[in-house]
Amino acid sequence: MTTEPCWHPDLLRRFVPTPYVFSTCDGLNQFFVESNDLEIALSARRSGILHRQCSQERGLFCRLIRDMAAPVDASEMTIVSNGSLRVLCLGQGTILIYDRERLELLGFISRNVRVQELISSLIPTLLRG
Amino acid sequence: MLVFSIDQIALPYSMDLCFAGAACELRTNYSQLARMLENLSISKDYAVPSGFSMRVYVEEASDAVAGEPHFRGLHHVVTASFGSSNLFVFDILRRTVSARVSAAIGRDERFWKEKLIPITLGVLGSAMGLVPVHCACLELDGEGLLIAGVSGAGKSTLSVALSEIGFNYVSDDWTYMSRRGNGIMAHGTSAPVKLLPDAVEHFQSLQGRSLQRSMNGELAYEVDIVEAFGAQVERVCEPRWLIFLERTQRAEAIFTATSHGKARTYVNSSIERLPSQLYEATAMREQTIEAVALLPSWHFQYGGTPQFAANELWKFVVHRRQEIYA
């Protein structure tokens, strides 16, 4: 008989619930957004650049977490890319990841980053590469 | 905005390394880092079949020391930053580490030995068939003894005491398990032994040494077990027994056989839950955990000095071996 494991706490915040989910289909291209923040989820769903990315790459899965526990620190922006993975950091608290091969846009957004900045500046900068 | 395309920057220093059973193909632009990691590397004889690659770009003009650590993970990607100048990106599916660090980090051996290598093994281990288990490991004539217990149970002091009476030292805090055929292998790293301040009462060779603030903020002696105690070190062994430590007030040594379920629960409690995207790594990890859980295991209640407990464990191992080989 096996029992449900007693897991280590979720220190990486991988399993933050994301109740706001939107999914649309344009032909064969599926555009999927999930977030723990309604404003982020709605803005991502309406984002032209994300829809264009979805059409060009034939699909896009976005999981964006508003991270209230993340440090709010200096706003130096760094992008590190290797192969199909591209990571944008704004300070330490905001981290956006785009995997071109897996068509996934993942991220933690610290509380000092406004949704407008995320959608119109950070995400376009990340995807531009 | 700073942009680092790790796959397009020239990283002329390239070498094949191995840390605790994980083969590592390193590329960097910083010769000091390459030399330092080469010194921490061990033989690849018992490395698991899947290794990882690490690309480290060192910004020679930056001398920013390691800041507060910040970890996050989604799907197959984990990031670790130590201040805004030092960023590590772990891709678990592709088994890669991409990093941009300062020159201060590039030459900080303690950072790599105590933080980055254990973190890398912890994050990517599941994709390579290596499972980190919070236990010490000692070896005697090729047979390994795993010693598990909560922090403060005495794993490190007992490891030193056992190494003083003839056991070979593999690890004192975290041990990395892999499967090999039908059995399992236990791998150690080159991390120093960490002993709490009261250990000086039991080990004369700590006298005259100073306490250091360890990475988790605790005040402790952090020593190289070979240099401080003259211990023999093995980097890998085949574990035979699993012991759960419990300190008691009386000078006694009581061994009680425990269930496989306890071992399984213990191992699971020290590892991260993996997301569904990593189902292959999860399945591989479960097989290794099951192999660890099937080891004969005992609850060891002990009091008195670490030397007393070590002698009792020595007698226990000798007795078990006589039973096996009789």
Which residues of chain B lie closer than 8 angstroms to A3, CB-CB?
Answer: 261, 265
Confidence label for B326 from pLDDT (cuts 50, 70 and 90):
low
| Domains observed in chain B | 13-128 (no CATH), 132-325 (3.40.50.300)
Taking residue A124's Cβ as centre, other Cβ atoms within 10 Å add up to 15
**Is pLDDT at A8 greater than 80 in this prediction?**
no
Mutate to test the interface with B, among A1, A79, A82 (most CBs of B within 10 A): A82
| Confidence bin at B182 (pLDDT 50/70/90) | confident
Q: Is residue B50 within 8 angstroms of chain A, CB to CB?
A: no
| Per-residue model confidence as pLDDT tens digits over B290-317 | 999 999 999 999 998 999 999 999 999 9
Q: Pick from A10, A11, A12 the residue to mutate for testing the B interface (most B CBs within 10 Å).
A: A12
Chain A residues whose beta carbon lies within 8 Å of the beta carbon of residue B81: 89, 92
Confidence of residue B7 (pLDDT cuts 50, 70, 90): confident
Lowest mean pLDDT among A5-19, B35-49, B74-88, B257-271: A5-19
- Sorted by where each begins, the domain ranges of chain A are 20-128
Predicted pLDDT of residue B151:
81
Q: How confident is the model at residue B189 (pLDDT cuts 50, 70, 90)?
A: confident
Distance CA B170, CA B122 (A): 17
Q: How big is the CA angle at A46 (ends A45 and A48), to the nearest 5 degrees?
A: 110
Confidence of residue A1 (pLDDT cuts 50, 70, 90): very low
Kindly state the tokens that stand for A47.
């984002």
Indicate the average pLDDT of chain B: 92
Q: What is the pLDDT of residues B36-65, one digit of tens each?
A: 999 999 888 888 888 999 999 999 999 889
Chain A environment of B89 (Cβ under 8 Å)? 80, 82, 85, 87, 97
User: Has residue A2 got a pLDDT over 50?
Assistant: no
Tokens linked to B10: 């020239």
Digit-coded pLDDT (tens) for B240-255: 999 999 999 888 899 9
User: Is there a contact between B12 and B18 (Cβ–Cβ < 8 Å)?
Assistant: no
> Which residue numbers of A have CB closer than 8 Å to B's CBs?
2-3, 5-8, 10-15, 63, 65, 67, 70-71, 73-74, 76-83, 85, 87, 89, 91-93, 95, 97, 99, 102, 104, 106-108, 125, 129
Distance from CA of A21 to the nearest CA of B (A): 16
Q: Can you state the angle between helices B155-164 and B306-325, rounded to 10 degrees?
A: 70
Pairing of strands B135-140, B253-257: unpaired
How does the average pLDDT of chain A come out, rounded?
A: 91
The ipTM (two decimal places) reads: 0.94
pLDDT computed for residue A6 by the predictor: 60
pLDDT digits (tens, 9 = 90+) for B129-181: 999 999 999 999 889 999 999 888 899 999 999 999 999 999 998 999 999 88
Which range has the top average pLDDT, A63-77, B91-105, B140-154, B249-263? Answer: B91-105
What is the predicted pLDDT for the residue at B106? 97
For helices B117-128 and B279-293, what crossing angle results, to 10°?
100
Tell me how crowded residue B153 is: count the other CB atoms within 10 A of its CB: 18
How far, rounded to the nearest angstrom, does the alpha carbon of residue B46 sit from its chain's CA centroid?
16
Tell whether B275 lies on the interface with A, counting CB pairs under 8 A.
yes
